[in-house]
Amino acid sequence: MRRREFMAVLGGAAAAWPIAARAQQTGKLPTIGFLGAGSAATWKPWLAAFVQRLHELGWVEGRTITVEHHWAEGRGERFEEITAEFIRLNVAVIVTAGIAVPAAKRATSAIPIVFTLSPDPVRSGLVASLARPGGNVTGLVEPVE
């Protein structure tokens, strides 16, 4: 085998190894807790885009990860209840929207929380600063005009 052929085979094996390792893992799959503030119907396009992007990154629901979807149906009092359920399920991360983040943050300082949009996470006390959020909360910020 020539050197270039050997390097190509070695490179291909190195690239495929993480995928094969994830496919061979045994036991419980890592779980993402997805907390929607509204209903499943209102979050459908956002959830579909989220799952699609996970798939593009090599994470396949049911094979390499599990996604727990819970909907607050517009009832703010459900945020803490749903977050408590995620804690009980020992999710790896909680993904939610800005208005549910404070309840999730109060409920856990151990599980990472990723929010999709927040108008001002520094002023609201969600993060210490945009450059260094600190704690277990991070996410996307709405642009200020």
Residue 126, domain CATH: 3.40.50.2300
- Overall number of domains in the chain: 1
Return the half-sphere exposure (C-beta side, CA atoms, 13 A cut-off) of residue 62: 0
* Regions of the chain with pLDDT less than 70: 1-26, 144-145
Q: Which domain holds residue 130?
A: 27-141
pLDDT digits (tens, 9 = 90+) for 51-87: 999 999 999 999 999 999 999 999 999 999 999 999 9
Cβ contacts of 125 within 8 Å, gap of 6 or more: 102
pLDDT score recorded for residue 26: 55
**Domain assignment present for 82:** yes
**Domain assignment present for 17:** no
Sign of the alpha-carbon torsion through 79, 81, 84, 85: negative
